[in-house]
């Protein structure tokens, strides 16, 4: 009986710091991850292109208000990206301990992002659940272009590439034909979307698809993996660089939290990808 009490006491003592870490320290933290990717159909002239990814901002989730967003903007600008991508979920719905922040307020802070090739966004499921046109208008008002099932030609030096934005897999039409229709030549194609579950459906030519949505599961347990990933493919597209059949996907774990304000071994991340030809 004494031994059982001792075990319970030790487990309780261990649970307290772990709980503080998962529900307070890690969600309040901010890390920068830099990763160089060798991707197919990417021109030598475009080698070294730096793309900052700010996924799942969820402004208003615990420890993730406008002050934290200002830190995120400063950290991103310090990385000197060529291009900034915001793949959806600017807002929150019913996250425990959260406080709703209007998209107009968040967009005003994001307006301070600086990148010579622009700041671009797609919408996520939470943006759709709130009011997709409202979120898009807030971003556009601050010169953050929203690409929903369309593409733009971006010139860098003597070369160019296509940036394709695909609408959310859950709530948007994710019309791949419409998204790629503006691509009229054989220049490289960089695509981005909110939910990586669209990846297996893509048959068009592209060098890399960038996504968010999964939050990396928010919790990554040693040996047990990521217990909850909002994807019909489980952990298959949960985090990081995925290569299947010669096609490349990168999933950022994002910056905010959803439903429960917890992160464990998946800290909020500003992702900087440096793209090189394979």
- Token pair, residue 101, equals 């922040």
Is it the case that residue 203 has pLDDT exceeding 60?
yes
Annotated domain spans of the chain: 2-277
- Residue of 112, 107, 123, 27 whose CA lies nearest to 75: 112
- 194's CB contacts (< 8 A; 6+ apart) are 87, 88, 89, 122, 123, 124, 125, 167, 168, 169, 211, 212, 213
Q: What angle do CA 10, 12, 13 make, to 5 degrees?
A: 65
% of the chain residues with pLDDT over 90: 88
CA dihedral 239, 240, 245, 248 (to 10 degrees): 120
What's the pTM value of the predicted model, to 2 decimals? Answer: 0.94
Instruction: Report pLDDT for 231.
Output: 97
Q: Which residue has the higher pLDDT, 24 or 10?
A: 24
Confidence at residue 21, expressed as pLDDT on a 0 to 100 scale: 77
Q: Is pLDDT of 6 > 70?
A: no
Domain 2-277 sits in CATH 3.50.50.60: no
CB burial class (10 A; 0-12, 13-18, 19+) of residue 254? buried
How does pLDDT run across 13-70, given as a tens digit for each residue? 345 677 787 888 899 999 999 999 999 999 999 999 999 999 999 999 999 999 999 9
pLDDT category at 95 given cuts 50, 70, 90 is confident
Residue 145 parent element (H or E): strand 145-146
User: What pLDDT is stored for residue 15 in this prediction?
Assistant: 57
Identify the burial level of 65 via C-beta atoms within 10 angstroms of its C-beta, where 0-12 means exposed, 13-18 middle and 19 or more buried. Answer: middle
């Amino acid at each position: 009986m004494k031994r059982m009490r001792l075990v319970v006491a030790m487990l309780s003592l261990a649970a307290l710091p772990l709980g503080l870490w998962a529900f307070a320290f890690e969600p309040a933290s901010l890390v920068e991850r830099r990763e160089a990717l060798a991707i197919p159909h990417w021109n030598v002239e475009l080698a070294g292109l730096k793309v900052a990814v700010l996924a799942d901002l969820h402004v208003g989730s615990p420890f993730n208000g406008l002050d934290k967003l200002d830190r995120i903007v400063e950290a991103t600008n310090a990385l000197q990206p060529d291009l900034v991508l915001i793949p959806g979920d600017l807002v929150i719905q019913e996250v425990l301990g959260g406080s709703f922040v209007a998209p107009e307020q968040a967009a005003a802070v994001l307006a301070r992002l600086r990148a010579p090739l622009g700041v671009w966004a797609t919408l996520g499921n939470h943006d759709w659940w709130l009011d997709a046109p409202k979120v898009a208008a807030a971003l556009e008002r601050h010169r953050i272009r929203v690409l929903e099932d369309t593409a733009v030609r971006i010139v860098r030096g003597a070369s160019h590439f296509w940036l394709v934005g695909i609408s959310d897999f859950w709530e948007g039409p994710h019309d791949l034909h419409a998204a790629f229709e503006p691509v009229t030549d054989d220049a490289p194609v960089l695509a981005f979307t909110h939910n990586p579950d669209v990846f297996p459906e893509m048959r068009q030519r592209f060098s890399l698809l960038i996504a968010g949505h999964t939050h990396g599961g928010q919790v990554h347990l040693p040996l047990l993996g990521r217990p909850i990933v909002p994807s019909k493919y489980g952990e298959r597209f949960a985090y990081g660089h995925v290569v299947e059949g010669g096609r490349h996907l990168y999933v950022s774990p994002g910056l905010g939290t959803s439903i429960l304000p917890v992160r464990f071994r998946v800290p909020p991340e500003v992702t900087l990808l440096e793209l090189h030809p394979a």
